[in-house]
Amino acid sequence: MKIQKYSDIQPTYFDSDIAKGVAGRVLIGKDDGADNFCMRVFELSKGGYTPRHSHDWEHEIFIYSGKGAVFNNGKWLNVESGYSIFIPRDEEHQLKNISDEPFLFVCLIPSGVSEL
């Protein structure tokens, strides 16, 4: 069993034109022997956003804290703490922070793709 607090993990930062103000952490992955799926946490600072893209694997997301929006089929839909989002494979998506507070979400992916 592996138990940890997300904030005790050193994040990887993403800051560019396509992904701004993003801190990513792998909580449970292949190094832990998790060979079916992988748990990450992403923290978006004020004004932060993830890339707008699609890929051939799904996301299962749970919003941990804060307020954000998810791009879906040409529209931005608001989400906040306590929401889940299922993004099927090959569906274009992007998440952004829409408040002054950090926006944090747990995002799971199947094994076999890049963990971060």
DSSP summary character for residue 59? E
Residue 82 carries which side chain, given as an amino acid letter?
G
Question: How many angstroms separate the Cα of 29 from the Cα of each of 17, 25, 81?
Answer: 28, 10, 24
115 binds a copy of itself (CB under 8 A): no
Rounded Cα distance between 104 and 44, Å, is 6
SS3 label, residue 95: strand
Q: How many residues bind a copy of itself (CB under 8 A)?
A: 37
Least Cβ distance, residue 72 to a copy of itself (angstroms): 5
Determine which residue in the list 10, 16, 36, 114 makes contact with a copy of itself, applying CB under 8 A: 36
Sole window of 13-21, 30-38, 47-55, 94-102 interacting with a copy of itself (rule: CB under 8 A): 30-38
Bridging pattern class, strands 67-72 and 94-97: antiparallel
Residue 1 interacts with a copy of itself (CB under 8 A): yes or no: yes
Site map 68..107 versus a copy of itself, x via CB under 8 A: --x-xx---x-x--xxxxxxx--x-x------------x-
Contact 12, 25 (CB under 8 A): yes
Binding footprint of a copy of itself on the chain (CB under 8 A): 1-7, 27-28, 32-34, 36-37, 39, 41, 58, 60, 62, 64, 70, 72-73, 77, 79, 82-88, 91, 93, 106, 108, 110
